[in-house]
Amino acid sequence: MAVEVKVPTLGESVTEATIGEWLKKPGDPVKLDEPIASLETDKVAVEVPAPVAGVMGAYKVEVGATVEVGAVIATIEDAQSAGETVQVAEREQPQPADQVPPAPAVAPAPATDDHADGGTTLSPAVRRAVLEHGVDPSAIKGTGKDGRLTKEDVLAAAKAKKDEPAPSVSQAAPAPTATGERREERVKMTRLRQTIARRLKGAQEEAALLTTFNDCDMTAVIEAREAYKDLFAKKHGIKLGFMSFFAKASCLALKDVPAVNAKIEGDEIVYHDYVDISVAVSAPNGLVVPVVRNVDALSFAEVEQAIASYGQKAKDGTLTMADMSGGTFTISNGGVFGSLMSTPIINPPQSAVLGLHRIEDRPVARNGQVVIRPMMYLALSYDHRIIDGREAVTALKIIKEAIEDPMRLLIDL
């Protein structure tokens, strides 16, 4: 008896998704709650779990198709009926004239090796790495829980493959002659990329965007990190990074300048007495902004732990809709990619975003002397409909002063 697999509830206000990838093939054994498909929504990738144990049946929709919540996308059958279905399907499958028809299929046995290719349960991040680097997952020994493959296992195998000696020149095939042909490739935008494009363009068209800049001497923060990084890591089990300093400094600014932490709804301004910071992180399918909530009430360690957790979930493709919803202010760190200066775009309905950039030694004047300091450019983009220039400049100045003198973070100045 076949059991229908339906699109699960995807989150508030999300009614449809796109089939991004099938994680199981027809005839593969399936365990209860094992992921069988990956759906792409406007914000995150969502895995569809198997409602029962059995054997993967037929697909009802193809990769790239748009499906609504509750739609049937596949079936799962018990092992006996699945074996009969596969045999019938293979008999009906047209065979090339020069090939001998294969022997009737036998119902597959339950998989015993979770990291072998075939009955594998690979996470979306691992599957993407396998496809990207062209390695055979069955030839890689997993180091994860129960011997499962991790992304690091795939990357290590790809590196080892790259380091293998190239075949001898005598055996190499002759290089094709350059014809001067110019090629183009068309790839359909993912649902996430379409949403990013639509939201950013909408922000430009609706908001009155303006950016104010300042530079920041990172000497004090760098010295604080160097002095306490070992004790911090030993006590909290997490590294002390720059983001927690900027998150807490932003809290000071947002409390003193409430408009920067507000939003427009219709003809009203909504002010928040809490600070939920969206932290822009890079994911395989594009930029995502999970939300660290109540940052004003968190410790440095709790901020760092939350950011690290979201960063790992973004790499693994396991962020949920709940992780992405809300947010009153955004911090985007382009410095990790080498950006010197930028004008970040706000994340609607938020009214401001702080852009961080790379740190570089530059000559600056201190007490009448030219000295070398580790400097960073800061950028605050804001919606001029709700935030005046004076407020934006004041907020950025508070952040700058808190970073240059971290004691302000302790005594709330």
Could you read off the pLDDT of 106-129 as tens digits, one per residue?
444 444 344 444 445 666 667 767
The pLDDT value recorded for residue 81 is 53
End-to-end CA distance of the chain: 68
What three-state secondary structure class fits 261? helix
C-beta of residue 24 within 8 angstroms of C-beta of residue 56: yes
384 is catalytic: yes
262: which 2 tokens?
Answer: 């507000």
What's the burial of 182, exposed, middle or buried (CB within 10 Å: 0-12/13-18/19+)? exposed
User: Rounded CA gap, 78 and 84, in Å?
Assistant: 10
pLDDT tops 70 at residue 43: no
The pLDDT value recorded for residue 114 is 43
Among residues of the chain, what percentage have pLDDT more than 90? 36
C-beta of residue 10 within 8 angstroms of C-beta of residue 17: yes
Range 100-106 average pLDDT: 46
Average pLDDT, the chain: 80
What the chain holds in terms of domains, given with CATH numbers, is 1-110 (2.40.50.100), 112-159 (4.10.320.10), 207-411 (3.30.559.10)
Catalytic one of 33, 113, 384, 412: 384
Residues 6 or more apart from 218 whose CB is under 8 A from it? 242, 359, 373, 374, 375, 376, 403
Residue of higher predicted confidence among 46 and 248: 248
Each residue of 115-151: b (16+ CB within 10 Å) or e? bbeebbbbbbbbbbbbeeeebebeebebeeeeebbbb
Q: Quote the DSSP letter at residue 276.
A: -
H helices of 93-141, in order, are 124-133
Catalytic one of 136, 388, 405, 412: 388
pLDDT (tens digit, 9 = 90+) per residue, 152-196?
787 888 877 776 665 554 455 555 555 678 888 888 777 667 777
C-beta of residue 346 within 8 angstroms of C-beta of residue 204: no
The pLDDT value recorded for residue 175 is 59
pLDDT tops 50 at residue 357: yes
Each residue of 290-320: b (16+ CB within 10 Å) or e? bbbeebbebebbbbbbbbeebbebbebbbbe
Q: Which helix (H) or strand (E) holds 288?
A: strand 286-288
Q: Which helix (H) or strand (E) holds 186?
A: none
Residue of higher predicted confidence among 106 and 57: 57
Maximum Cα–Cα distance for the chain, whole Å? Answer: 88
Q: Residue 159, CB half-sphere, CA atoms under 13 Å: how many?
A: 6
User: Rounded CA gap, 355 and 331, in Å?
Assistant: 6
CA-atom Rg of the chain in angstroms: 27
Residue of higher predicted confidence among 253 and 326: 253
pLDDT tops 60 at residue 98: no
The pLDDT value recorded for residue 138 is 76
14: which 2 tokens?
Answer: 């999300």
pLDDT (tens digit, 9 = 90+) per residue, 361-390?
999 999 999 999 999 999 999 999 999 999
Residues 6 or more apart from 176 whose CB is under 8 A from it? none
Range 49-59 average pLDDT: 86
What three-state secondary structure class fits 243? helix
388 is catalytic: yes
This model's pTM is above 0.85? no
